[in-house]
Chain A
């Protein structure tokens, strides 16, 4: 899922300073699950901002709503009922949600309350770790299901760098060496032949190097404009 973390309260308060009627809009999917941007967190943010010391005068009033997904334009347009006189929106969504809501409400500022951090997994209760960078050319079949793009600090494709020690990365002893894990995993699978393969130079145009990416399903584009 997409994982995000709350921005400092002061930063959010500063961004909304000067507005009168602010909608705090929670998002019901990824950021609800990672406990940062759902309906509960939207309510907590409204309470914190309402009682905060950040507005010396002209304290804005806050209304909280939550929609299932802020990243789906048609659903937001159809089902989000904007409170009258709203002059700013604080979005509790990831960056995709913030931008989608911005596209819909062209005359309203849409201000992020979160920093979108990574695509990750819940390793244990309350702990999410980055597992994928959405590079667009998955090599997990060759690396025992452990991603060297997202989990090796140097994004190495053909074995460890030599800086790791006792299975830990040289950048931080709390970080597992991805290649240590890959090799252990391949040994366990009896597929060390994958390790002996040389993975060639990578075409990074499928990653951010190729600019913003898109996915088109021609069989589903009849009601959706594709540009």
Chain B
């Protein structure tokens, strides 16, 4: 997916490539095809391509309002009472050797309200949970 988008007015003149101050635009001529290329890690988002384009073909909003990329995904630890996400399993493993005790997987609300032993007891007694609410 490219953040840099052009509309149907683009005629491949390469004005944008020649005028990009960050060298973030390039092109490849291969066989019968010309391909315009953009490197977002080099892009300064300066808008020169958009300004300079004689065809008004650069759709700069793709650079300004790009989509989110997923970077990494990992397992979550949840509050054992209400299921609220707390932290990742990897974070827990990193902290395990550094803490003097093993913290209970409880959100701030449930950690504050009762001790872990109380919650362990209440977790198996729905009526007791309702009474405590």
| Contact yes or no, B60 A79, CB < 8 A | yes
Bound CA span A67–B63, Å: 12
Give every chain A residue within 8 A of B47 (Cβ-Cβ). 68, 72, 74-75
- Indicate if B22 sits at the interface (CB-CB under 8 A): no
Mask, A42-85, CB within 8 Å of B = 1, is: 00000000000000000000000001100010110011000000
User: Which residue of B is nearest A222, CB measured?
Assistant: B52
Interface 1/0 per residue, A74-115 and B, CB below 8 Å: 110011000000000000000000000000000000000000
Chain B, residue nearest A219 (CB): B19
Contact B61 A68 (CB under 8 A): no
Contacts A79-B60, A79-B61, A79-B64 given; does A68 touch B51 at CB 8 Å = no
Cβ contacts under 8 Å, B92 to chain A: none
* Interface residue count on the B side (C-beta < 8 Å): 8
Whether, in the assembled complex, B45 has its beta carbon less than 8 Å from a beta carbon of chain A, the answer is yes
Q: Which residues of A contact B50 (CB under 8 A)?
A: 75
Q: How far is the CA of A27 from the CA of B96 in the complex (A)?
A: 41
Task: Tell whether A172 is near chain B: CB-to-CB under 8 Å.
Answer: no
Beta-carbon contacts under 8 Å, A12-54 to B: none
Q: B51 contacts A74, CB within 8 Å?
A: yes
A227 within 8 Å of B by Cβ? no
Closest partner residue, chain B, to A66 (CB atom)? B64
Q: Which of A67, A79, A223 contacts B51 (CB 8 A)?
A: A223
In the complex, chain A residues whose CB is within 8 Å of the CB of B64:
67-68, 79
The closest CB in chain B to the CB of A223 belongs to B51
Chain A, Cβ-Cβ closest to B51: A223
Interface residues of A in 195-227 (CB under 8 A from B): 220, 223
Residues on A with beta carbons closer than 8 Å to the beta carbon of B60 = 75, 78-79
Which residues from chain B contact A79 at a C-beta distance below 8 Å? 60-61, 64
Please report the C-alpha to C-alpha distance between residue A61 and residue B36 in the assembled complex, in whole angstroms.
45
Supplied contacts A68-B47, A79-B60, 9 more A-B pairs, CB within 8 Å? A67-B64, A68-B45, A74-B47, A75-B47, A75-B60, A78-B60, A79-B61, A79-B64, A220-B52
Interface, chain B (partner A; CB < 8 A): 45, 47, 50-52, 60-61, 64
16 A-B residue pairings within 8 Å (CB atoms):
A67-B64, A68-B45, A68-B47, A68-B64, A72-B47, A74-B47, A74-B51, A75-B47, A75-B50, A75-B60, A78-B60, A79-B60, A79-B61, A79-B64, A220-B52, A223-B51
